[in-house]
Structure formats: C-alpha cells, structure tokens
Amino acid sequence: MPGANLTRVEAQERASVVSVQHYDIELDLTRGGKLFGSTTTIAFDAQAGSSTFLDLIADSVQSVVLNGQELNVSEVWADSRIELAQLNEHNTVTVTAMCVYSNTGEGLHRSVDPSDGNVYLYTQFEVPDARRVYAVFDQPDLKAVFDFRVIAPEGWEVISNGLVSSKNQLVGRTDEGTLTGGETRNRVMWTFTSTPPMSSYLTALVAGPYAVWRTTASNGDGRQVPMAIYCRKALQEAMAKDADYLFDVTKAGFDFYNKTWGVPYPYDKYDQLFVPEYNAGAMENIGTVTIRDSYVFESKVTDALAERRVVTVLHELAHMWFGDLVTMKWWNDLWLNESFAEFTSTLATAEATNWKDAWATFTSGEKSWALNQDQLPTTHPIVAPIDDLNDTYVNFDGITYAKGASVLKQLVAYVGRERFFEGIHNYLVKHAYSNATLHDLLQELEATSGRDLRTWSSLWLEQAGITTLSAEVATDDKGVITAFTIHQVAPQEHPVLRPHRLAVGFYNTNEAGAVVRTDRVELDVDGADTVVEELVDKPRPEFIALNDDDLTYAKLRFDEQSRQFALAHVQDFDSALTRAVIWLSLWDMTRDGELPAQDFVDATLHLLARETESTTYRYALSCMSFTAKHYVASAKRAEVLAHVAHELWTLAGRAEAGSDVQFQLVGAYLGYGESGDSEFEATVRGLLDGSVVLEGLQIDNNLRWSLLTALARINAIDEDGIAAELAKKDTTENRQFALGARASRPVEEAKTWAWEEAIRNTELTNSQLEAVAAGFASAPADLANAYVERYFAEADGIWTNRTFHMAEALLEGLWPSNADAERLVEQGDAWLAAHEDADKALRRLVIGNVESARRIVAVRTFNDAL
C-alpha cells in the first residue's frame, strides 16, 4: 500500500517538526457490520510554517479541519496519509472518517461467534495499525495523552487503556447489521479517563458481550490496582476454572517485578482480555493486555502450553515497565521491549510460580528458535537495522526475542544480578513515560556495574551470528586431566568472537543410576582459546558440560567421550536444564550434518522414555519427527518412520494414565499415518469409537478433532464426514479444525481447494487461513511437487495484495515443504535472483523457506553417505 510503509527517515523528519500533546478520539461502533465511525482531534505543536502528515487507513474521510479551516479532503488525503501544510506553532486538527473492521487481526478486528451469534471486537496496533482506527502520528517516539469515547450497543462491555469515567445512554438505536440477524439495541456512550503519555501503538479498544471476572492487586506503592479478565461468553465455563489461577500468576508477577526493579506498577488498572482469532500470542497494550483465546483451555492441553500461557502472562506484564513506561525511540530497538520481557518473564516464571524448570523450557523452546534463525542468511544483529515498517514486521523473530533474552541472561552473569537490576531501576526511573535507546540503557548499566559495556554491546548486540564453543581435554593414563582448553570459532560470514561468562560442569553416575553434577567451575572465556587451569589435576568425569546452567549463548560441541556418553545417557541426567542443554546440542549437530540422523532419533527415543519437562518433550518429539521425515538417509526413511511410530505408540501405552507424557505421545503418533496404513487407521478409529482405550486418555473436543484430522491426512474421512462432525458442534474453534481437516486430505482436489481458498478467499479470518494453510502443507511429495512453481508464481501477488500478517501466513504456511528439496532450492534460487530489488521483508520470508530446503539437501546427503 503506497504511503503505508513509513521509513525511518520520514519518522525522524516528522519528529523533528512535531511534538504531540493530546488526542481526543470518538469511535462509533453502531454503524453496521462493515464500517465504524472515527472522529479524532489532535493538539500538537510544530515549527511555524512547516508541513507534515497524519497516518490514516480508512474507507472514506468526511472532513479534515486544521486550525479552524476545513481542508479539501480530495487534495490532502491520499496513500494512507493526510497532508498538513502551513502549520502554526500550536495546532489543532480534527479528522472525521469511516474506517473498516478487519478479519485479519490488524486494526479493529470483528469476530462473530457461530455458537451464539455474539459479536466481539478488539484492536491490535503493533506495528503501525492505530492508523486503521483513528488519524494519528503513528510512530513510537511521538507520545501523547489519549482520551477515548466509544459508542457501543447496549449490553456490551467496552474496555480501553483508561478507567471508565462514565456511561450514558444515547438517543437512537444501532444500525441494522451491527449485531447478527439485523438485531438493534439502544446505544451507550462510554467515556474513559485520560491516559498518561504513551505511544499510539499501545492504545487499545475491546468491545462486545464479554464475560468478566474482577479482583485487585496490591502494588508496590500501597495502591490496590483493579484487575479484570475477559473472554467470550462461549468460553465462560472454561475460563471460570482458571480465572483465579491466572489472577494469582499475575499478582505474583506484580510482586516480583515491583521488588526486582523497585518501580511500582505505573498504571491505574490491569485488564487481560482473551480475544478470538488473534494473529499473535498477546499484546502489551497499556493496562489492557489482549491475549489469544486459545489460551482458554476447554480441552486438555500439554503442560508445555499451560506453562507457555504463564510465561505469556508474565511477558506482557513485564512490558508495562519495559516497552510501555519506557518505549524504544524507533523500531531498531524493538529488542529493548521483547528481549527484556522474554528474559524477565522466564526469570519470574522460574522464581515466582510453580513452573520451577522454566529455564529448561526456555532452552528447549526459545533458544532452539534462536539457534535456527541465527544460522540463516537472514540473521541480523539483536539491535537490528530497521529502515522502514516492513523491516520491523519481520524482526519479531527468534533473534529479537530468544537470542536477545539469552544475551541478557549472559549480561546478568557478566555484570552480576544485583548490579544489573539496579541499573534497570535507574533506567526506568530516568526515562519514565518517554522514549529511550540502547545508549541510554548501557549508560545506566555501566554506572552500576563498573563494566565497560560499549565493547560488549558492539560484539553481542550489534553483530550478527553465533560462535561455537568446544572442549579439548587431555588426560594421563590414570584419567587425570592434564590440559583443558575451550576453543571458540566464529562462522566465516560473521567472524566475531565474543566474551562469555560460563560454567563448566562435571557429571558422573551415582549409585542410583542418575547422572549428577559432581563439580563446577565458572569462568570468563574470551578469544579463540581459553586455558582452564582450575580443571587441571582433577579426575576426568564421565561427562563434561560446556555452558553448564546455560549461562551464555553459543553452539556447543562436546569432546568425543562426552558426546558418546550423552547419546547413551541424556535421559539419565537429574537436571531438566542439563538435559535440555545436551539435547539441544545433539539436535544442532544433527541439523549441521555432524551427527547421524539415526543416532539423534535413537537418543531422542531414549529421552522420551524418561523425560518429565513438558517443553523439552514437545520439542524433542517435533525435532525427531522432522529428522525422520527429512534428514534420515533416503533408503532408510520408511523403516525409521515405521520404527518411530511403533515406539511412540508403545511408550504411550506404558505412560502414566492421564499424564502429560501420554497425551503428547498420542498426539505425536497421529502425525505418522500414511494412506493405506490399515493398522494406523484402525487405531485412530478405535480411539474415536472407544474400542481402543488408553487408561486415563480422555477423547475431548480438541483431541477428537486431532483424530479426525489424522484420518483426513490418510484419506480415511471425506468432506461430508468432516462437515457432519462440525454440524454436531459449530464453534469458532471447530470451524478452524474442520477447515484444517478438509485441507489435509491427501488428494489433488483437496489441495487445489486449500490453495485457492487460502489465496483467493479474503473472507477467511486470519485463524481460518492459518488452518487451511497448515492442512495444505501436509501434502505428500507427489502432490506437493505440483505447487513448487505455483508458489513462486504467486509470491509477488500475495505480497502486493494482502496485509503483512496475512502475506506472512500465506508465504510461510503454503510453502510446499514436502516437495523435492532440490527442486525447491533450484526454483527458490531462481526466484531470488530475479527479485533482488524486492522488499527486504518479502525476500527474507522466501530466503528462510529456501534455506530450510537447502539444509535438508545437505543433511540428507551427509546421511546418505554414511
């Protein structure tokens, strides 16, 4: 969309001209089901005689009045911008417009729940989508005070950043179409208290007949902060079971952050709104956090997902200080928001909740994400170069979140926890309600730690890539260590060695058969070679753990004796974090073509027989599946897949009744079915009809749809059968499941339908589109091959004609990953060569897909040669 992609230079120029004091915004949600009314009055200062522009994406603009003079709309509004010329020193502009509800989770999203017909609205404004709802200077460094008034149908809840100051019934009724079935109601004007100075992308509006729970939390300054949780009425029963627990987690977060940072929660309230069809995990709108309502658990979920919900709650709460109270000046410092929230939410989860192994969760999940993305050609520094908004979109990634959080964990080890958080306190106090940069943060941390962090920052934050640490161990004939050296190697494309504060752990098997730590040394590692004198003259243990306790961020390569021990005994280590660190290193070696794929599969099966940490379990299952399907030698793939499926079902039968392990094993087993596999089909049908029983395994709604989708993937259920299942219980979630099941059928007509539906049907919500794309992506090689050329032929049109989030969902979701990898690489390289001038964000999405295929070719070649 021309004009919508704000550049950094444009933002800097506008900020040099404009300072904004106040927004007065009135939204009318009673105009029908397609459009809503938006009237915005902005008070701002400017250089006298200068010109600037407002951002607005709207269906139509009725009027623009600048300093009392009505402007010609056709002359000033174009390309999503409103030009403002000949400004005074003090200015007021009022814009009246009609804006469009979205079904993509961008701007003001409108969702209709099919189970009861209720309409639910919510906003999502990050990165630049406040302009889809009101006229705005939509960049983070132009903070202002906001006043919202909202006209909504009677009977709705309306929530915004401020507290409700008044509710008044208006004359007249809603337009037909605002609600379902042409229903009309009286209208109510909701008025909210003024916000503190804040960035526009953090403003929020949620409206609809939401169910609500309320409580209060004690704040660090003696206040009682009102808290609320909201969800759709269709999910009310499920949320009622969890609301108190979620309140308790949030209050624990309040206490932890207030104590750790010494800065009381800065806002008047704290609401958490679980909303439908969300295109992200959650969003840190000030005092009005929106969270995807798949986190309202109607059916059994893995402990990994239950823990992720806790981390998400604490992540968004951390943002109230880091990102909201103090906001980055421009999107290149996005990491200041996300890395910090990711690090501190894991810390809070481990220390303030019942999820004590949260750092093992972080290693298996978040850190594996970072290692993957940091080895792509598209990797970037944590402090990323952001030239425009499109660059920002694609930097919500494993580098910004997971690598950044890992590096912050390393920084805490480097400067010391007490000094680190003292510096954070000073940073928050000094820059409260304003914007800050990396320089501002480092200045405070240097002052409290006494460390020179400029060099540290240049190596860790401002350079891309990941180094590899390995141990060289020499022993005498009695097994005593005579020399111990840690080597650090940087990749050719990013030849940067970094300083590391890390620990080396010694592990041995005790009398009970558990592998336990028997010694530990913490030290600084810098340069290519670091001699560790502290370990000389000590007996060599069975296993030597580099980066014990996972203090630093690096790829790990164990010495040969330790590697062999890990392959045989990874399941026996008594520490969940140590198991996660070892398993992640084995996975990294596998995907680098340094460890035979079958060795990794065998080690993972050993781990699954004993592992108890749910996220490690989840990722182990996922990576083993990918290895068996893509990395194992071609001649052995069918045999390995059959073996893995058999072992998973066997382990499920042995697992504790009703346990998380049993639940995950069954879910993983369902991913191994192939057309014509009568035994698999019989097992799945038996689980559905009750003739096959695993004690404690409840076939609830979501598991039932998983079973139906497994049948669809082997063409053992048709479209009519899927439709009949949906008719039994037509809900928002089940519509998505049904779309995914229909798209999963391994027949040409199903894949053609899914492809066309995803690309052409703009009525699909973002969640429905993702379900269709995921079903399509299960296409076996013979069907997937037909879509290689089509994928690259459609890429430009998808990028041009869809919003970013929908384009991303299509370009990633419709990638025919099961097609011949060599063919994907050949076609992908040709497309990239012909699109050197394409948007960087588009190229980055395509490069990520192509590099995945390139790695498959390389790793499979390695295994074929064994």
- Residues with catalytic roles: 316
Pairing of strands 81-84, 77-78: antiparallel
142 with 19: CB under 8 angstroms? yes
Task: Look up residue 609 and give its two tokens.
Answer: 């027989």
Residue 289 β-bridge partners: 272
Q: Report how far apart, in Å, the C-alpha atoms of 633 and of each of 90, 570, 780 are.
A: 71, 24, 18
> Tokens representing 275?
């909303």
Q: Are the C-beta atoms of 335 and 442 separated by less than 8 Å?
A: no
Cα–Cα separations (whole angstroms), residue 261 to 186, 322, 339, 506, 658 = 47, 11, 16, 35, 40
Q: Are strands 468-475 and 555-557 parallel, antiparallel or unpaired?
A: parallel
Identify whether the C-beta of residue 53 lies closer than 8 Å to the C-beta of residue 14.
yes
- How far is residue 565's CA from residue 538's CA, in Å, rounded to a whole number? 19
Dist. CA 791–CA 722, nearest whole Å: 27
Q: Is 477 left (phi over 0), alpha (psi -120 to 50) or beta?
A: alpha
Dist. CA 414–CA 412, nearest whole Å: 5
CA-CA distance, 561 to 174, in Å (whole number)? 74
Closest to 746 measured CA to CA, from 685, 674, 672, 683 = 674
Amino acid identity of residue 110, one-letter, is R
CA dihedral 812, 818, 820, 826 (to 10 degrees): 0
Decide if 556 contacts 525 (C-beta within 8 A): no
Largest CA distance in the chain: 94
Element (DSSP H or E) covering residue 589? helix 576-591
Evaluate whether 491 touches 465 at the Cβ level (below 8 Å). yes
- CA–CA separation, 29 and 99 (whole Å): 10
Omega into 666 within 30° of 0, i.e. cis? no
Euclidean distance between CA atoms 341 and 402, whole angstroms: 10
Angle of the 453-460 helix axis to the 404-415 helix axis, nearest 10 = 160
CB-based contact 319:328 (threshold 8 Å): no
Distances (CA, A) of 665 to 391, 421, 435: 39, 41, 47
Rounded to 10°, the helix 614-626/660-669 angle is: 20
Q: What's the rounded Cα separation, in Å, for the pair 583 and 600?
A: 9
Encoded tokens for 359: 């750092």
Strand, helix or coil at 147? strand
Query: Can you tell me which residue has the tokens 């200041």?
Result: 336
Length of the chain: 866
First-to-final CA distance of the chain: 51
- Phi/psi zone of residue 226: left (φ > 0), alpha (ψ -120 to 50 degrees), beta? beta
- Listed in sequence order, the DSSP H helices in 268-403 are 303-319, 334-352, 358-362, 368-373, 389-393
**Could you tell me if 554 and 334 are in contact, meaning their C-beta atoms sit under 8 angstroms apart?**
no
C-beta neighbour count of 268 within 10 angstroms: 16
H-type helices in 433-486, by residue range? 438-449, 453-460
Q: Say if residues 321 and 270 touch (Cβ distance below 8 Å).
A: no
